[in-house]
Structures are given as C-alpha cells and as structure tokens.
Amino acid sequence: MKYSLVLAALVGVASLNAAPEAMPATATKSAPVPTVQTETVKTETIVVPANSTVNVTYPACPAHEQMAKKAETPMMAPVPTPTPKEDVLEVNKDLLISVVGQGVAPMNTSSPAQAYALAKRAAVADAYRLIAEKVKGVRVDGQDLIKNMMVQRSTVRTSVQAMVRNANIVETTFKEGLCEVEMEIVISHTQFQ
C-alpha cells in the first residue's frame, strides 16, 4: 500500500516536470512550477507498471556518495554453510548409528552398587529409545484445549515403536550419579527387505 502511494507521488511529480510534447493531448498546460536548483549526484529511471518512466534525482550529499561507492564495489557471494549430511541407507552399504543414552540413579538406593545398576539400566533403555527414534522416526501427537480464545491446556505426546536387535554397548561412564551409555548398531539394507 505504501509503495503504491510513493509510486503515485513519483508519477505525479514526473508528469508535472514532463516536457509539453510528452504530455497527452487531453491535458491542459498550467503555470510552470518553480524549481529549486540543487546539485544532483545520480539520476535513476524507474519503470512503473503502466509502461511510463519516472526520473528520480538525489541531492548531493557525502552520505549518498559513500553509499553509491559501496554499491558499485563488487560484493563477494556469501559462503554457504554446509548442511549436515543425513545418513541414508543404501543398497550395498552398511549404516552405523551411534547414540549416547543417559540415566540417573534414584535418591533412595540401599548401596552405591544398586545406584549404579539402576542408572545403567535407565541409560541403556534411553539409548535403545534413541536408536529406535533414528531408525523408525517419532510419532508426535498434540492437543490444545482452548476456552474463550485462551489456551487452557496444551499436551504433546511423543512415542516410538520399533524392534531393536544387535545393538552393542561401546562405553559406559558413571559420574556423580549420572550414567552414560554409548551404544551403536550397524544396519544393512537387507534387514529391511
């Protein structure tokens, strides 16, 4: 909307400054419009949709000259950032999927050994879930309860259902009640046929 107003103003100014022979036959000549003498730096021609042209002049200004010099200097093309390549399962190539599952020991354990065992079990289950998410994908269900145009309750549920076989535990670390299990699985194309 604002561009059309600016364009209409430019067309109106251009028609006032147009030569008499360029004016349409139906227009009447009016008194000349007084002009202000300014030093011009640059004149641009703008093509408007009605196939008419408008000349725009800019007054001399150091800031405009600097902008014009910057516009004339060639700019380097932006360097595209490499996007991480998504692993794709190909016919004659195995795919290695590696994840790190995390588990926390519960507060009310009877011994440090029990805390370690429970944290490791939780970390292994988390690693299996991460592998299943990478292989099969995640199902996301969302529900919003809106009353009087306001959100009363918003619920998001995620789930994954898969069978994971032949996953190997590579490394297990236990520090300050947090157990991390690095697990990997090798998948071949023949397993999905």
Look up residue 155 and give its two tokens.
């619920």
CA distance 14 to 53: 8
Q: What is the pLDDT at residue 90? A: 72
User: Do 47 and 99 belong to one domain?
Assistant: no
H helices of the chain, in order, are 2-17, 62-72, 112-136
- The whole model's pTM is what? 0.52
User: Do 59 and 99 belong to one domain?
Assistant: no
If one counts the domains in the chain, the total is 2
CA distance 23 to 16: 9
Task: Note whether residue 53 is domain-resident.
Answer: yes
Task: Note whether residue 163 is domain-resident.
Answer: yes
Task: Note whether residue 79 is domain-resident.
Answer: no
Torsions phi, psi for 142 (to 5 deg):
-125, 145
Best mean pLDDT range from 32-36, 67-71, 161-165, 187-191: 161-165
The answer to whether 59 and 41 have CB atoms below 8 angstroms apart is yes
Instruction: Identify the CATH number of the domain in which residue 128 sits.
Output: 3.10.28
Widest Cα–Cα separation across the chain: 103
Per-residue pLDDT reduced to its tens digit, 40-99: 445 555 555 555 555 555 556 666 566 666 656 555 666 677 766 666 667 778 889 999
User: Do 56 and 114 belong to one domain?
Assistant: no
User: Do 166 and 99 belong to one domain?
Assistant: yes
User: Do 137 and 179 belong to one domain?
Assistant: yes
- Give the residue among 92, 97, 90, 100 at the shortest CA–CA distance from 166: 97
Task: Note whether residue 78 is domain-resident.
Answer: no
Average per-residue pLDDT in the chain?
75
CA distance 158 to 161: 10
Task: Note whether residue 48 is domain-resident.
Answer: yes
Which domain does 41 fall in, by range? 1-19+35-63
Secondary structure letter of residue 149 according to DSSP: T
* Residue found under tokens 């145009």: 149
Q: What is the pLDDT at residue 146? A: 94
User: Do 121 and 184 belong to one domain?
Assistant: yes
User: Do 130 and 48 belong to one domain?
Assistant: no
CA distance 146 to 155: 12
